Chains A and B, each alone.
Chain A
Amino acid sequence: MIEVKNLTKSLPNGRMLLDGISFKVKKGEFVGILGPSGAGKTLTLRCLNGLLKPDKGEVIIQDENGKGHDICKINKRELRRVRQRIGVIFQGYHLVKRLSALENVMIGRLGQISTARSLFYGFTDGEAAEALLALEKVKIGHLAEIKTGNLSGGEMQRVAIARAIFQLPTLLIADEPISNLDPSNAKIIMKMIKPLSATMPVVGVFHQPEMTAKYCTRVIAIKDGKVIYDGDPKLSNDMLVEIYGEELSLIEQQEHAVPAMLIN
């Protein structure tokens, strides 16, 4: 379970980037965060695993033993320990390009093995076999030995998912995991992420309301650093307009709204 309470972050000039964001995600939920560009979605996610310290607020994450930790308050060592069990899928290319897909997957457990072993011996054969299983789960086992720099965007995103699976996380967060993929690949990725929510809370940022409507169990909309909607993934037309603004209703309403309504 992850609980976010009253996250607040402002610039020195007084502009509020995050303005009292609160939500709670339990195991079994796949939460999609929507919002216009610059709304503060990435900032929120970065607060979730401590890459960013909010000015105010708490982020409480339950570890594998069910004990809660406030990410914003714990020390560096503790933070590293909690992060070992947080799977992350960032937008686009965040893998080590000159390492193979398999090695990138194994990096997911770097935090969990001792420094001495990681520096001198590296990973074990058992871990490699497990990592390969993770890659096979996302259907790219045959690419295990290829350098990730040579993979396509969709394949890289699958490596990232495999890495998260291999990590045995208790929480998964994803920032725009399908943004630079073609529609069919986007669906495949969504289908791969969704089942993970059976064992852990999953929080993802998306720009595709039709996708979140179809795959997420819940949608949170953020605008100007505030949560303006939290509930059913199938958004009404009015809500979409409220999130993305008038232009959507005037020009692109059909494109975006129709699939959402169809699902309705």
Chain B
Amino acid sequence: MKWLEFSFKRYRKWLLPLLILAAVTEGAAIVCGATFGKLEEGLFKGISFLGFMFPPDWSAFAEMVQPAFQSIIIAFLGTVFGTLLSVIFALLAAANISNPWVRNITRLLIGLERSIPEIVILLLLIAAFGLGSMPGIIALSLGCIGMLGKLLADTIEELDPIMMESMESVGANKMQIIVFGVLPQIMPNLISYALFRFEINIRLSVILGAVGAGGVGYELDYSFGMLQYHRAFTALLVIIVMIFGTERLSYILRGKIKMEGALK
């Protein structure tokens, strides 16, 4: 009995949160129609369906190469233009470069962008420009602003104020301070953030592809739609290789930058 008392006291502060958690879970489960038993069944069905998709349609590999390449290019261009945009936004959003008004408004825009999922941006762009790679690339570029813009703005704000003052002291103007002081200092961060974003953009380019930006995501969606599951499995393999490859590549490159940046 003593044991029970002791235990209860100990866990009491967890009791209420756990009860709330259980209640919310229960409620959510009702909304989703997901009991624990059904959950298991659903997961099992999904996994067995994956088995059903096996083996891949080997002959479709050749057809996948070009779409995969296109997806990579879309992600690449999205990252390049997105990074350029983000640098501009970051400079406008950094307190030590821009004026308070511009800074706050830019920060607001960056925050706003961050809370819109890329796919929503894409849907809007498709509504404006029609299907194609253009809305995809623009959506990915705009998608960079929320993340890269914020990270870079924070990096810039952490720059040594004495360094900036000392440049100001020799009569340099804003642009010169940016080009000779700010950019060299943030370059390692800039590159490693951009690489990180490239990984994300590769994943996104697959999703956006399915909505109409083309590339291997479209092939996947199309195969599913046409019930060609073995072909879909081929696309899946290609996508996995793509994601895995870029992840490795970016990891290696970022390691190199870290090594170089270590001796500041």
Bound-complex Cα distance A88 to B137 (A): 47
Q: How far is the CB of B51 from chain A (nearest CB, A)?
A: 53
Q: Is B169 a contact partner of A86 (Cβ separation < 8 A)?
A: yes
Bound-complex Cα distance A166 to B31 (A): 73
Residue numbers in A under 8 Å from B169 (CB-CB) = 49, 51, 83, 86, 88
Query: Known: A81-B171, A90-B166, A98-B187. Is A107-B180 also a contact (CB below 8 A)?
Result: yes
Give A79-90 as 1s and 0s: 1 = Cβ < 8 Å from B's Cβ atoms.
011111011101
Q: Is B176 a contact partner of A112 (Cβ separation < 8 A)?
A: no
Residue numbers in B under 8 Å from A110 (CB-CB) = 167, 170-172, 176, 180
Which B152-211 residues have a C-beta within 8 angstroms of A?
A: 160, 162-163, 165-173, 175-176, 179-181, 184-185, 187-188
Bound-complex Cα distance A118 to B176 (A): 7
Bound-complex Cα distance A249 to B58 (A): 90
Bound-complex Cα distance A189 to B62 (A): 69
- Interface magnitude class on chain A: 20 to 34
Instruction: Please give me the residue from chain B that is nearest to A120 by CB atom.
Output: B179
Q: How far is the CB of A158 from chain B (nearest CB, A)?
A: 15
| B263: interface (CB < 8 Å) | yes
Residue numbers in A under 8 Å from B38 (CB-CB) = none
Which residue of the partner chain, among B160, B163, B170, B176, contacts A115 with CB atoms under 8 Å?
B176
Q: Is B176 a contact partner of A98 (Cβ separation < 8 A)?
A: no
Bound-complex Cα distance A83 to B176 (A): 14
Please list the residues of chain B having a beta carbon within 8 angstroms of any beta carbon in chain A. 160, 162-163, 165-173, 175-176, 179-181, 184-185, 187-188, 263-264
Please list the residues of chain A having a beta carbon within 8 angstroms of any beta carbon in chain B. 49, 51, 80-84, 86-88, 90, 92-99, 103, 107-112, 115, 118-119, 147, 149-150, 163, 167
